[in-house]
Amino acid sequence: MIPPEMQTSLPCGVILKKLKKLKDDRGSLMEIFRTEWSYGIEPVQWNFVKSAAQVLRGVHLHLVHSDYLVLLEGSITIGLADLRKHSPTAGRSAIVPLDEGSENAIVIPPGVAHGFYFPDQSYHVYGVSHTWDLADELGCQWNDPGLKLDWQCTTPILSERDASLPSLDQLLKELPDGL
């Protein structure tokens, strides 16, 4: 059960948690994760990512694992689309902009397609609930109109893999009925 203070109005079953930063003359400290916060995710793998300006990662979808992301420096535009057939927010999309001053953590559940656009050079950490597995790494074109995501960019830098992802319609055909 997620406590009310951790819930937000974000669609897609996504949780946005305000974090607290402690500052003094030496710098700052911010707790970014505690198992007692009960997000429904217990990360088994943590990743540190540096992204150049204008990079877009995604759009990806996981059948099994959840993501827990904290932006450390820079800015990020997170695109979300709920592709879970039986979700109360099925078909809804959202854009969530964050910068390093927002001090938030975001939890993305399985079945929610997501992409990350970095207008500036940025650093983030993310944990996953299950060890990375290529079989759990699906995706579609970042600019597919069916996602209903306004990225505010037209020519992002994409990985070769992300540039060759199929259409949203093709991705939807690959999803299991129980999702």
pLDDT greater than 80 at residue 9: no
Per the prediction, the chain carries an average pLDDT of: 90
* 84 touches 111 (CB < 8 A): yes
Nearest CA to 56 out of 129, 152, 146 is that of: 152
Nearest CA to 32 out of 134, 156, 167, 126 is that of: 126
**70: confidence class by pLDDT, cuts 50, 70, 90:** very high
* 55 touches 121 (CB < 8 A): no
d(CA 58, CA 56): 6
* 125 touches 71 (CB < 8 A): no
Cis before 59 (ω within 30): yes
**1: confidence class by pLDDT, cuts 50, 70, 90:** very low
From residue 40, alpha-carbon distances to 15, 83, 126 in Å are 10, 19, 15
Helix or strand run (H / E) with residue 169: helix 168-174
For residue 11, the model assigns a pLDDT of 65
Q: Which residue has the higher pLDDT, 41 or 175?
A: 175
Question: pTM score, two decimals?
Answer: 0.88
Q: 86-140: per-residue pLDDT in tens?
A: 899 999 999 999 998 888 999 999 999 999 999 999 999 999 999 989 889 999 9
For residue 5, the model assigns a pLDDT of 46
